[in-house]
Amino acid sequence: EPEVTQTPSHQVTQMGQEVILRCVPISNHLYFYWYRQILGQKVEFLVSFYNNEISEKSEIFDDQFSVERPDGSNFTLKIRSTKLEDSAMYFCASSLGGDSSSYEQYFGPGTRLTVT
């Protein structure tokens, strides 16, 4: 069964460093998303991406964040200068889109980002 994959599973970085989190969405999906979950809090939407551009972003997704689909399979989230409060689980998701049943989003296993 197709699944969303994410690498690395755990990333430790120092404050101020750049990190890139990688995702491979399900191959025929057209919509891609990043969410995060700070420990003990809700899963929060960060950004959605469709047709090679950002379609929506949250207030969290400031200028320190960027997303890219560098090729036909990968979808990346870059944090340019990490802060302590960026420590969280980051989930990538994808959906097929097109009709109501295809808006179900399928999530990857997550990358735990720890900023020290």
- Regarding 107 and contact with other proteins (CB under 8 A), the answer is yes
Contact of 114 with 87, CB cutoff 8 Å:
yes
- From CA 108, how far away is CA 31, in angstroms rounded? 14
The rounded distance, in Å, linking the Cα atoms of 93 and 79 is 18
Nearer to other proteins (CB atom), residue 1 or residue 14? 1
CA distance 19 to 44: 19
Which residues inside 33-72 make contact with other proteins, applying CB under 8 A? 33, 35, 42-45, 48, 50, 55-56, 58
The CB-of-116 to other proteins minimum distance in angstroms stands at 20
Binding site for other proteins (CB under 8 A): 4, 6, 30-31, 33, 35, 42-45, 48, 50, 55-56, 58, 91, 93, 95, 97, 100-101, 103-110, 112
